[in-house]
């Protein structure tokens, strides 16, 4: 195989242990031929079209799958081709800190052949988590072979989804009490709620297809997952469903909180409008009375001291009575 120009990582597993790692990509064919029972992990970071063409020729990869691996923003999926499977998933990273991007994701494509798992990463990410997961359960390599490697990859990705959902749930708890306070939340808290809603929506797009994807991998006609590994895949599927359910709950919860805050702001506005209308009514009474007594025609008490006292008493009692009435009805 022609040596790819992109950074690569390699590992060869046999009988529950690593028998070779970090060897050049051009030695892949030699290693697989020399160890008929071994399985390979080959990782390509930002490969060029030429790099993928060399790998495709070695492992007989379908041109459509290779094309999907070169394109960005493919949907999460598991496609079946005559000689291999093609997988596309997203590892995610969320942040609730205002000075950091709220959501980041790494698109990972993978080719699953009989003896190799070939991963293609299109953005920086840490492969150490995959290696740790594989090494922790390396005894399953004889039972699952490549399916074991695929399980470790999907399991790490799904665990990241679960952790992200839990992190957003904790952040929502901190926003909820303030959003539900009387009088509406401050603008910065409200904008934090909107930021959380956008992050949850982005996370949902990455993890929503995962339960179905894991279920597809377990189908009997694929011949990938045997009875020994099936419980492990079902466990990952359960985690994926749990993450999706939690994100759906978060989405509804945040939307409900923002709607409740909007309704509270409407209540405050209505209360202010009601008070202004009540004060306008109170002010209208003395305005009407002074307008009457200020006419250019004589009225009872015109040009008399007691007439002035009479007008003031009428103003005070009528306005005060209206104020008391509105106060009792909680308009003021």
**91-140 tens-digit pLDDT:** 998 877 776 777 888 999 999 999 999 999 988 888 888 888 888 877 77
Q: What's the domain range around 289?
A: 276-328
116 SS3 class:
strand
| Same domain membership, residue 170 and residue 314 | no
| Same domain membership, residue 193 and residue 76 | yes
| Same domain membership, residue 34 and residue 60 | yes
Cβ-Cβ contacts under 8 Å for 32 (sequence gap 6 or more): 12, 38, 40, 115, 116
Q: What percentage of residues in the chain have a pLDDT greater than 70?
A: 90
pLDDT beyond 70 at 19: yes
Examine residue 60 and state whether it is found in any structural domain, yes or no.
Answer: yes
pLDDT of residue 180: 66
**Which two tokens mark 332?**
């003021």
Q: Using the 3D structure, point to which of 264, 292, 317 is the last residue of a domain.
A: 264
| Same domain membership, residue 280 and residue 258 | no
Examine residue 313 and state whether it is found in any structural domain, yes or no.
Answer: yes
Query: Average pLDDT of 30-57?
Result: 90
pLDDT beyond 60 at 176: yes
Examine residue 112 and state whether it is found in any structural domain, yes or no.
Answer: yes
CATH of the domain at 20: 3.30.460.20
pLDDT of residue 155: 93
Counting the structural domains of the chain, the total is 2
Tokens 């910065």 label which residue? 188
State pLDDT tens for residues 275-299: 778 778 777 777 776 676 665 556 6
- Report the C-alpha gap between 273 and 104 in whole angstroms: 44
Examine residue 165 and state whether it is found in any structural domain, yes or no.
Answer: yes
Strand runs labelled E in the chain: 8-14, 17-21, 39-45, 77-81, 84-94, 103-112, 116-121
Q: Using the 3D structure, point to which of 264, 296, 318 is the last residue of a domain.
A: 264
- Report the C-alpha gap between 55 and 82 in whole angstroms: 17
pLDDT of residue 271: 78
| Same domain membership, residue 260 and residue 131 | yes
Tokens 């930002």 label which residue? 46
Query: Average pLDDT of 79-89?
Result: 94
| Same domain membership, residue 178 and residue 229 | yes
Q: What percentage of residues in the chain have a pLDDT greater than 90?
A: 36
| Same domain membership, residue 315 and residue 257 | no
- Report the C-alpha gap between 82 and 84 in whole angstroms: 6
- Report the C-alpha gap between 175 and 238 in whole angstroms: 29
Q: Using the 3D structure, point to which of 224, 244, 264 is the last residue of a domain.
A: 264
| Same domain membership, residue 243 and residue 132 | yes
Query: Average pLDDT of 213-219?
Result: 93
Cβ atoms 171, 196 nearer than 8 A: yes
| Same domain membership, residue 309 and residue 211 | no
| Same domain membership, residue 185 and residue 287 | no
Max alpha carbon distance in the chain (Å)? 124
Examine residue 148 and state whether it is found in any structural domain, yes or no.
Answer: yes
| Same domain membership, residue 324 and residue 187 | no
| Same domain membership, residue 95 and residue 163 | yes
Examine residue 126 and state whether it is found in any structural domain, yes or no.
Answer: yes
Examine residue 3 and state whether it is found in any structural domain, yes or no.
Answer: no
Examine residue 1 and state whether it is found in any structural domain, yes or no.
Answer: no
Q: What pTM was estimated for this model as a whole?
A: 0.78
């Amino acid at each position: 195989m022609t040596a790819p120009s992109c950074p690569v990582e390699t590992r060869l597993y046999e009988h529950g242990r690593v028998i070779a790692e970090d060897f050049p990509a051009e030695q892949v064919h030699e290693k697989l031929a020399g160890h008929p029972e071994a399985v390979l992990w080959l990782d390509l970071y930002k490969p060029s079209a030429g790099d993928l063409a060399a790998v495709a020729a070695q492992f007989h990869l379908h041109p459509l799958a290779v094309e999907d691996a070169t394109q960005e923003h493919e949907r999460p999926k598991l496609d079946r081709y005559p000689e291999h499977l093609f997988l596309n998933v997203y590892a995610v990273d969320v942040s609730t800190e205002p000075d950091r991007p709220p959501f980041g994701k790494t698109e990972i494509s993978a080719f699953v052949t009989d003896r190799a798992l070939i991963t293609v990463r299109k953005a920086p990410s840490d492969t150490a988590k995959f290696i740790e997961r594989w090494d922790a359960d390396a005894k399953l390599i004889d039972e699952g072979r490549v399916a074991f490697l695929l399980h470790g990859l999907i399991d790490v990705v799904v665990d990241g989804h679960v952790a992200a959902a839990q992190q957003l749930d904790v952040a929502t708890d901190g926003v909820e009490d303030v959003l539900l306070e009387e009088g509406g939340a401050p603008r910065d808290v409200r904008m934090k709620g909107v930021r959380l809603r956008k992050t949850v929506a982005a996370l949902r797009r990455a993890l929503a297809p995962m339960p179905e994807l894991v279920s597809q991998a377990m189908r009997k006609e694929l011949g990938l997952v045997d009875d020994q590994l099936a419980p492990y895949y079902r466990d990952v599927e359960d985690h994926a469903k749990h993450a999706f359910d939690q994100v759906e709950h978060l989405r509804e919860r945040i939307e409900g909180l923002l709607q409740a805050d909007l309704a509270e702001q409407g209540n405050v506005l209505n209360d202010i409008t009601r008070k202004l209308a009540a004060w306008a009514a109170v002010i209208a009474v003395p305005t009407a009375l002074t307008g009457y007594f200020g006419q250019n025609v004589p009225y009872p008490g015109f040009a008399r001291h007691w007439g002035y006292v009479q007008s003031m008493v009428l103003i005070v009692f009528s306005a005060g009575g209206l104020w008391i009435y509105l106060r009792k009805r909680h308009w003021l």
